Structure 1
Amino acid sequence: MTRILLASRNAKKLRELQRIVAAEGLSGIEVLSLDDVPAFPEAPETAPDFEGNALAKARDAAAATGLPSVADDSGISIDALNGMPGVLSARWCGKHGDDEANIDLVLGQLGDVPDERRGGAFVSVVALVVPGGDEVVVRGEWPGTIRRERSGANGFGYDPIFQPEGYDVTSAEMTAEQKDSLSHRGRALRLLLPHLGKLA
């Protein structure tokens, strides 16, 4: 069994990767999280782009544990905000991980923006670093629009205000399986699967 480390403590991200690996029939791979390995110093996310942050996290994890390591950096890019919050998505309100405050701030900033200019996309960049071996970086995007009010209780982050292109529900109103097949992270992770398969 090949052990691969997801350099995250986010249980929902861990389950998402485990589901996608299982759905693709990749046997011989066990996905661990940071909670499953001894703690190591994690550098702050200071890169100006998703690619830099994902690669730095994966390199740190691979160097510290000796395991092939996967890390993602993801967020929402809103057209009317010139692509922001971007890499600042998780701390847009000034405090890390306060989903409700982040959504409130975005809704306030978009208050006067007409419906036809409320486009945006979820972006996920995933890096795989194999100790002494390859580094692979892939990117997935999920276009849609930003709703004026929250709807739905599934998912996390900006899901309650993001309506995917071609759908009349938010991503927070979708099942986990629906979201896996469509989402930015799902798209990026599937691009990574051939590289994970080589490790199995």
Structure 2
Amino acid sequence: MNKVVIASKNKHKLEEIKDILKNFPLDIKSMDEVGLEKLEIVEDGETFEENSMKKAVEVMKETGAIAIADDSGLEVKAIGNRPGIYSARFSGEGATDQKNNEKLLSMLKDVPMEEREARFVSVISVAFPNGKKISVRGECKGFIGFEKKGQSGFGYDPLFIVPEYDKTFAELGPEIKNKISHRARALEQLKERLAELF
């Protein structure tokens, strides 16, 4: 069994990644399970790619195991592709999902629906102890609504409308979201790349 550490403290991401990789000969651990609960990785890259690879490499060096990291966020065209890599901390110090959503809605206050294009981006990187590195990118396009809708999901899910369903991620629920989301698309690509290796 190849030991793999997922470089994330986000339980939701852990479950999603574990679920998609369950058929590989991998022993998947969280950072907590390998004693890295105190490790703080400074995300100072300028792209999702840079941040996710930095996280993967640091955790691989700490553990000597294969490390998988994800960096993801929301890009809204009308405001210059912000919040981007700052999605989780968009509203500043002490940012919460609620405050981030309020800030986004206030910035888009007078923007009509047809100009509220957005996309969720997820970049997943893998760092191997032998120096090999892989990065894959998944995207999901949609629009930002005028108000929050739906109860499931987290982050910007209640505002992000998926055109094919005309519903937000938070209204669609995890079953559909996990099939069409940016992370699901990145993980599908990762699955293909890992299938070539294992």
What's the TM-score once normalised by structure 2's chain length? 0.94
> CA-to-partner distance for each residue in 1:39-82, whole Å, 9 max, x for gaps?
26433101111000000000000000011001011000001111
What is the SS of the residue equivalent to 1:8? Answer: coil
Aligned counterpart, 1:38: 35
> CA-to-partner distance for each residue in 1:119-178, whole Å, 9 max, x for gaps?
000000110000123100111000000001111111111000001131211001123221
Say whether 1:166 aligns with 2:173: no
Q: How does 1:124-139 map to 2 (within 5 A)?
A: 124-139=122-137
Aligned counterpart, 1:76: 74
Shift of 1:91: 0.3
Task: Indicate the larger mover: 187-196 or 54-63.
Answer: 187-196
Say whether 1:20 aligns with 2:20: yes
Shift of 1:19: 1.7
Which amino acid in 1 is paired with 2:131?
A: G
How far apart in 1 are the matches of 2:101 and 2:93? 12
How far apart in 1 are the matches of 2:92 and 2:3? 36
Aligned counterpart, 1:6: 6
Shift of 1:21: 2.0
Aligned counterpart, 1:47: 45
Structure 1: segments with no counterpart, 5+ residues: none
Structure 2: segments with no counterpart, 5+ residues: none
Which amino acid in 2 is paired with 1:161?
A: L
What is the SS of the residue equivalent to 1:194? Answer: helix
Shift of 1:96: 5.3
CA-based RMSD: 1.5
What is the SS of the residue equivalent to 1:155? Answer: coil
What is the SS of the residue equivalent to 1:136? Answer: strand
Task: Indicate the larger mover: 32-41 or 51-60.
Answer: 32-41
Aligned counterpart, 1:194: 192
How far apart in 1 are the matches of 2:194 and 2:65? 12
How far apart in 2 are the matches of 1:139 and 1:145? 20
Which amino acid in 1 is paired with 2:5?
A: L
1:47/1:85 CA distance change after superposition, 3 Å: same
